[in-house]
Chains A and B, each alone.
Chain A
Amino acid sequence: MRVDIGLDLGSTAIKVVFVENEKILWRGQTATVPGQEALAMGLIQKGRHNLALPEEQIGSLVATGYGKNLFAATDRQIDEISANALGLFRLSGGQARTIINIGGQDVKVLTLDEKGRVADFRMNDKCAAGTGRFFELAARLLDTPLEDFGELARRAKNHVELNSTCAVFAESEIISLLAQGVGREEIIWALNASVARRVAGILGRRQSEGAVFLDGGPAQNRGLVEALEDEMLTDIHVTAEPQFSVAYGAVVSLS
């Protein structure tokens, strides 16, 4: 038995997967706060404990994500765009051709070739518009857990417009809508729609070819998936636990 470990040190969450023969045996995550190396090490220890995994059965440890250089004890490092492509292509059974990844602080759109290699990619500039951070801010303002966003958006009776995905301007807009008596459901629906428009803007004039997958933490928001399907006029696929596909891809890079 040889178990490889993939570590994704993201801007808002640290994710770890333990993988044996392409199968994820254990996964765990924790919020990113100062002291990322200790947090990551703690997660790895937790995984080892849960799997009762002795030292000699651990294969390689591959790190990816913004904080990959902060974790010294790695066998390999890989950028998160390449890891994302490798992981999701494998998890999708080779079906994925377009990947939309919404991370804590960025949005990436990847186009893959038939072998799963990155043919092209786009990413937002320094602005955090339409990213996971944007959703977190909205969740605080609306006093609503992120996991409820999908269900609440479905209950929206009216469609209101949120003009900005800028985290700063959107805050003003949300407060203004609340002051006007607009319901949380309608505002959440508007948030999802505005992020979907932003993602479509990054995709630009290019038509998505083949199966389109959404991953990253916000992919768990079913309302966002539906908004993207409406905006892009195509089916959007989401894997079982979309926040772990980049960490999984780090392990896939070993093969």
Chain B
Amino acid sequence: MMGLCGLDMSTPLHWLELPHLKNSARAGERWLAEVAGLKDFLAGLSGRKPTRKMLLDSLTTFQQARQTFSRLIEARRAGRVPAVWFFLIANSFFLDRIERWTAALDAALPTFQTQAKAAGLVFLAGSPIYFPNFKLLHLLEVAGLTVTGDDLCSSERLLPAQVTMDDPTDFGLLRALAESYHQGCLCPTFGDNGRRLNNIRGAVLGTTIKGVILHVLKGCHPYDLESLTLEEPLKRAGLKFIRLETDYAAEDGRNLLTRLEAFGNNLENL
């Protein structure tokens, strides 16, 4: 039987109600209840009751992945990792077992060498970029721009925030897990999200990055809606800003490239 969005409705489906606020105790409690409900659903589905040790092991595994990934982020900032490689490595996280991905990245990190000094350093914000739709990344390279930082949920934000495990009980670990995906998330779907702007400011101001590119993927509207709230303050801070709306089709490549080339020339004027 086919049902909603072409899904086979005989497949067990569990709905998560996501909170729209972060700075609200009520939203946090509701989200915790949702995560607890998901835990019960998975336990029923698999026939395995998650133990405290399983949860602790999983949280530790993610923490290790995050620590290793942070070293990759630093390596890119230092100009040792080409932008497209960085995005490919980040994307591969979704396709591999986390332990194997972390071990492979750990082994690869020392091999990254300092690249030739890059010009046109930019920060890429906005909608996620998933392989094979690397159109924008390719055009950025053609335009002579180098992404040295980003806040994409497919890239620098792919792992949840660091978990504070100060309460080792079942409930304490579950709360820590829930908070890492709630308080630590910078997705613009949240209404009270000043941290998104602060995060970009923190990553860019005082560095050699002079421009911010906001990638708006058609269908990923929250980034479009937030563009004005980012544009004005970032420009006031002396940064160049450009919003690029695009999709998975290649036909707007020339149009995008024209804008990126001009944006790169603008950065040189700073």
A-side residues, CB < 8 A to B, are 66, 78-82, 105-106, 117-118, 120-121, 123, 125-126
Interface CB pairs A-B, < 8 A, 8? A78-B265, A79-B261, A81-B265, A105-B255, A117-B269, A118-B265, A121-B262, A123-B255
Judge whether B252 is part of the interface by a CB distance below 8 angstroms: yes
Closest to A84 in B: B262
Q: By the criterion CB–CB under 8 Å, are B258 and A81 in contact?
A: yes
Q: By the criterion CB–CB under 8 Å, are A82 and B262 in contact?
A: yes
Q: Once bound together, how far apart are the Cα atoms of A219 and B266, in whole Å?
A: 26
Judge whether B259 is part of the interface by a CB distance below 8 angstroms: yes
Closest to A11 in B: B254
Interface residues of B in 214-270 (CB under 8 A from A): 235, 245-246, 251-252, 254-255, 258-259, 261-262, 265-266, 269
Q: Once bound together, how far apart are the Cα atoms of A121 and B258, in whole Å?
A: 11
Q: How far is the CB of B143 from chain A (nearest CB, A)?
A: 8
Q: By the criterion CB–CB under 8 Å, are A125 and B262 in contact?
A: no
Q: Once bound together, how far apart are the Cα atoms of A79 and B142, in whole Å?
A: 12
Q: By the criterion CB–CB under 8 Å, are B251 and A126 in contact?
A: yes
Chain B residues lying within 8 Å of A105, measured Cβ to Cβ, are 255
Closest to A124 in B: B255
Chain B residues lying within 8 Å of A125, measured Cβ to Cβ, are 245-246, 252, 255
Chain B residues lying within 8 Å of A120, measured Cβ to Cβ, are 235
Closest to A117 in B: B269
Q: Once bound together, how far apart are the Cα atoms of A121 and B269, in whole Å?
A: 14
Q: By the criterion CB–CB under 8 Å, are A126 and B252 in contact?
A: yes
Q: Which 9 A-B pairs have the closest CB atoms?
A: A81-B262, A79-B261, A126-B252, A82-B265, A79-B262, A117-B269, A118-B266, A66-B254, A125-B245
Chain A residues lying within 8 Å of B266, measured Cβ to Cβ, are 117-118
Q: By the criterion CB–CB under 8 Å, are B259 and A118 in contact?
A: no
Chain A residues lying within 8 Å of B269, measured Cβ to Cβ, are 117-118
B-side residues, CB < 8 A to A, are 235, 245-246, 251-252, 254-255, 258-259, 261-262, 265-266, 269
Q: By the criterion CB–CB under 8 Å, are B255 and A106 in contact?
A: yes
Interface of B is mostly: helix
Chain A residues lying within 8 Å of B262, measured Cβ to Cβ, are 79-82, 118, 121
Q: Once bound together, how far apart are the Cα atoms of A118 and B252, in whole Å?
A: 23
Q: Once bound together, how far apart are the Cα atoms of A126 and B259, in whole Å?
A: 12
Closest to B243 in A: A122
Q: How far is the CB of A207 from chain B (nearest CB, A)?
A: 14
Chain A residues lying within 8 Å of B246, measured Cβ to Cβ, are 125-126
Q: By the criterion CB–CB under 8 Å, are A123 and B265 in contact?
A: no
Chain A residues lying within 8 Å of B252, measured Cβ to Cβ, are 125-126
Q: A105-B255, A126-B251, A126-B255 are in contact. List 13 more A-B contacts (CB 8 A).
A: A79-B261, A80-B262, A81-B258, A81-B262, A82-B265, A118-B265, A118-B266, A121-B259, A123-B259, A125-B245, A125-B246, A126-B246, A126-B252
Chain B residues lying within 8 Å of A78, measured Cβ to Cβ, are 265
Q: By the criterion CB–CB under 8 Å, are A81 and B251 in contact?
A: no
Q: How far is the CB of B233 from chain A (nearest CB, A)?
A: 15
Q: Name the contact of A80 in the complex, choosing from B235, B245, B258 (C-beta under 8 A).
A: B258
Chain B residues lying within 8 Å of A80, measured Cβ to Cβ, are 258, 262
Q: How far is the CB of A127 from chain B (nearest CB, A)?
A: 9
Closest to B255 in A: A126
Q: By the criterion CB–CB under 8 Å, are B255 and A79 in contact?
A: no
Q: How far is the CB of A141 from chain B (nearest CB, A)?
A: 24
Q: Once bound together, how far apart are the Cα atoms of A121 and B240, in whole Å?
A: 11
Q: Once bound together, how far apart are the Cα atoms of A139 and B246, in whole Å?
A: 30
Q: Once bound together, how far apart are the Cα atoms of A220 and B235, in whole Å?
A: 34
Q: By the criterion CB–CB under 8 Å, are B254 and A79 in contact?
A: no
Q: How far is the CB of B257 from chain A (nearest CB, A)?
A: 8
Q: Once bound together, how far apart are the Cα atoms of A118 and B266, in whole Å?
A: 6
Chain B residues lying within 8 Å of A117, measured Cβ to Cβ, are 266, 269
Chain B residues lying within 8 Å of A118, measured Cβ to Cβ, are 262, 265-266, 269
Q: Once bound together, how far apart are the Cα atoms of A125 and B259, in whole Å?
A: 10
Known interface pairs A66-B258, A125-B245; A79-B251 also in contact (CB < 8 Å): no
Q: How far is the CB of A112 from chain B (nearest CB, A)?
A: 11
Q: By the criterion CB–CB under 8 Å, are A79 and B245 in contact?
A: no
Closest to B262 in A: A81
Q: Once bound together, how far apart are the Cα atoms of A19 and B61, in whole Å?
A: 66
Q: How far is the CB of A67 from chain B (nearest CB, A)?
A: 9
Q: Once bound together, how far apart are the Cα atoms of A120 and B246, in whole Å?
A: 20
Chain B residues lying within 8 Å of A81, measured Cβ to Cβ, are 258-259, 261-262, 265
Closest to A253 in B: B265
Q: Once bound together, how far apart are the Cα atoms of A105 and B255, in whole Å?
A: 9
Q: How far is the CB of B217 from chain A (nearest CB, A)?
A: 12
Q: How far is the CB of B81 from chain A (nearest CB, A)?
A: 27
Q: Once bound together, how far apart are the Cα atoms of A121 and B254, in whole Å?
A: 16
